[in-house]
């Protein structure tokens, strides 16, 4: 099988007369690994600044401070250390990448392998991370964090929940893989110092949305799939499900791999008869639309920022629109979606941008998640 000018063949392992496919190595998408490395840098900046310079961070509870910090929050933070944008990128990027083995090698063993390994690859790193946190805070307490918050008047970070015994540890770890609402309120995320472990719950659950959905790819026409994905995205948007982001990532992966999207995009978008406009203009408009929304709400009219959350149905409590929303919980937002979608469309069609994100430094950082825990999980599964 060929992709991006390279040839890939799945390997096989014979076990007692049975021939099973082992996971193939998916190559040719170095720029996606580099993008993950770039997000790692942004994540570090956000954690550092929300801890020590909270006024410089978008959506921080600390809104007053030195002028340079306010400037950073209103101008620079929107583009870089923006928590909502970071986790929106991570969720869509996960959906964009986890379907690649099946797209390149559409077979039952490949999909079954991914389904089975997903839990193992999540469980080991999370279990070790929570164990380290539990042991550390049970020995040192969190009083020094309270003193630090009071000293610099930081109201944007919370004191971590202490995991005081094995039962709390087990339940905190277990519920990470079962929570479907109120992600940020679960014990595992509250115990994590940055409060960001909830993202794993979304990634884990949405991965199975992707796995179930990609089953139709080998059996349907491309045009039908595009129509189905769009209907799925609109429906998920209406009910405020993270599948809105995930299926968008799957759609991008499908059109890139199976529908020659890059070449079609290079021909432009037909407006009328022979009149076409460059595709990148549309992609830039999408991205600019989200950025304009964020800048308006960050620097000019912050009181309007959450009105967009009412553009969904109140699925669990009313037959009307969503008027009761918890701002303490992560939200799938329109502005973040437009920025992420526009950026991905530009990235997938720009050889120059792909070359930039294929930088060895970014790729090294992007591979940081392939830790000894992942290697241990792979060894265990084999």
pLDDT (mean) for 164-191:
91
pLDDT (mean) for 271-296:
92
Q: Where are the domains of the chain?
A: 2-381
> Which alpha helices (DSSP H) does 77-219 contain, by range?
83-98, 100-104, 108-140, 143-152, 166-175, 187-191, 198-213
Res 271 pLDDT > 90: no
CA separation, residue 79 to residues 60, 83, 219, 262 (Å): 15, 10, 40, 26
Q: Kindly report the pTM of this predicted structure.
A: 0.88
Report which of residues 277 and 140 the model is more confident about: 277
Do 23 and 15 meet the contact criterion of CB atoms below 8 Å apart?
no
Q: What is the pLDDT of residues 48-82, one digit of tens each?
A: 999 999 999 999 999 888 899 999 999 999 999 99
Question: How many residues does this entry show for the chain?
Answer: 382
Question: Of 302-306, 327-331, 351-355, which one has max mean pLDDT?
Answer: 351-355
Do 363 and 30 meet the contact criterion of CB atoms below 8 Å apart?
yes
For CA atoms 361, 84, 255, 287, the dihedral sign is: negative
The residue among 97, 95, 107 whose CA lies nearest residue 9 is 107
Alpha carbons 358 and 347: distance in angstroms, whole number: 11
């Amino acid at each position: 099988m060929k992709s991006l000018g390279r040839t890939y063949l799945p390997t096989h392992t014979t076990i007692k007369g049975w021939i099973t496919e082992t996971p193939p190595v998916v190559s040719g998408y170095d720029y996606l690994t580099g993008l993950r490395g770039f997000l790692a840098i942004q994540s570090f900046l956000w954690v550092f600044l929300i801890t020590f310079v909270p006024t410089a961070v978008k959506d921080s509870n600390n809104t007053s401070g030195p002028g340079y910090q306010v400037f950073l929050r209103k101008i620079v933070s929107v583009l870089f250390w923006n928590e909502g944008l970071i986790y929106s990128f991570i969720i869509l990027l996960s959906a964009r990448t986890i379907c690649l083995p099946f797209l390149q090698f559409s077979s039952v063993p490949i999909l079954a392998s991914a389904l089975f390994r997903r839990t193992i690859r999540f469980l080991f790193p999370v279990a070790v991370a929570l164990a380290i946190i539990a042991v550390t805070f049970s020995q040192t307490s969190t009083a020094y964090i309270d003193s630090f918050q009071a000293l610099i008047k930081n109201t944007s970070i919370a004191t971590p929940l202490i995991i005081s015994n094995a039962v709390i540890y087990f339940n905190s770890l277990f519920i990470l893989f079962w929570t479907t609402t109120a992600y940020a309120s679960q014990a595992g995320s509250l115990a994590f110092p940055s409060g960001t472990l909830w993202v794993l719950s979304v990634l884990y659950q949405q991965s199975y949305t992707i796995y179930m959905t990609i089953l139709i790819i080998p059996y349907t026409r491309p045009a039908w799939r595009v129509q189905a994905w769009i209907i799925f995205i609109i429906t998920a948007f209406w009910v405020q499900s993270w599948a809105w982001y995930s299926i968008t990532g799957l759609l991008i992966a499908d059109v890139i791999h199976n529908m020659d999207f890059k070449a079609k995009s290079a021909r432009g978008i037909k407006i009328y008869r022979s009149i076409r406009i460059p595709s990148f203009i549309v992609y830039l408009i999408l991205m600019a639309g989200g950025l304009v929304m964020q800048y308006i709400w960050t620097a000019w009219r912050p009181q309007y920022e959450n009105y967009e959350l009412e553009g969904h149905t109140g699925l669990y409590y009313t037959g009307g629109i969503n008027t009761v929303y918890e701002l303490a919980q992560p939200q799938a937002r329109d502005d973040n979606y437009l920025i992420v979608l526009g950026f991905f469309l530009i990235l997938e069609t720009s050889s120059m941008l792909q070359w930039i994100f294929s930088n060895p430094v970014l790729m090294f950082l992007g591979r940081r998640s392939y830790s000894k825990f992942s290697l241990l999980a792979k060894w265990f599964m084999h």
